[in-house]
Structure 1
């Protein structure tokens, strides 16, 4: 595909807004990306122009984004760049959105502790039922004909 993939390094400018949509979870926030350069005349780092992007996250990335990010945090966002131009009420405007594929804290500015999320959103139910390929286990302590005990659910790592 001929999509424009970008990697933007900046700070979270607005609190992420989380919504449950018919197509699944969605979250958005504004990302401020400020260019910095070395000013030889002043002999110091200087802030340049700030670009603002609306970052869109979907499905499990949306859930984790809403739970993990707050205003002011340094982040790295990778995704597809979408630039839109429109005319409303006689005024032309342009917006730059990033349809995020990955979002993470920028560890050049601090530390972050990774926590595995809960179960990812469930996949849609198959149209045909899957046959049960497993043979029921025999439990020697159970009376003959009694159903075998099910093994405990695996522990979820957090």
Structure 2
């Protein structure tokens, strides 16, 4: 299938709306994307036109987006572009929607603290924590030593 996949960088313009549907969780929010350019006459950065997209997220992405995003957050959204034109009450309008595949905070404009989502599967968190290697450098170790350290075996009582 031919689809138009785009990456949009902008700010969350509306609080995400979360819904539990028969097909699974769904969330939507508006994304404001403003072009910036260098005005050579004034030698300053100037805001250009702002485009607004409705971002749609489904399943786990919807749950995580609703829990993580607030109005004004700088984000990067990757997804399928869907442009729709409709006529209502004699007026024609066009909307641009993004069916999101990935959403994340824009770390070029701030910091973020990531927390893994609890998917509700018993035992997976403990199992992955034990098998995860320790990537920290050992005390007194060289920064050139990039090999991961094996985790200490768990004490059995």
Query: Runs of 5+ in structure 2 lacking a partner?
Result: 130-157
Shift of 1:56: 0.1
Q: Which runs of 4+ in 1 moved over 6 A?
A: none
- TM-score, normalized by length of structure 1? 0.77
Alpha-carbon distance between aligned partners in 1 of 2:125 and 2:102, rounded to the nearest angstrom: 27
Which residue of the partner structure matches residue 108 of structure 2?
108
SS in structure 2 at match of 1:113: coil
Secondary structure of the 1:61 match is helix
Equivalent position SS for 1:70: coil
Deviations 1:99-143 (A, max 9, x none): 0000000000111011000116x8xxxxxxxxxxxxxxxxxxxxx
Q: Structure 1: any 5+ residue segments left out of the alignment? A: 123-151
2: CA distance, partners of 1:84 / 1:155: 42
Residues 32-66 of structure 1 deviation map (CA, whole Å, 9 limit, x = unaligned):
00000000001100000000000000000000000
**How far off its partner does 1:153 sit?**
3.8
Partners of 2:57 and 2:72 in 1: CA distance = 18
Distance 1:34 1:59 in 2: 28
2 CA distance for matches of 1:154 and 1:84? Answer: 42
Distance 1:153 1:5 in 2: 36
Equivalent residues in 2 for 1:1-158, closer than 5 Å = 1-119=1-119, 153=123, 155=125
Aligned length: 128
Larger Rg: 1
* Structure 1 residues 45 and 60: CA distance shift in structure 2, 3 A: same
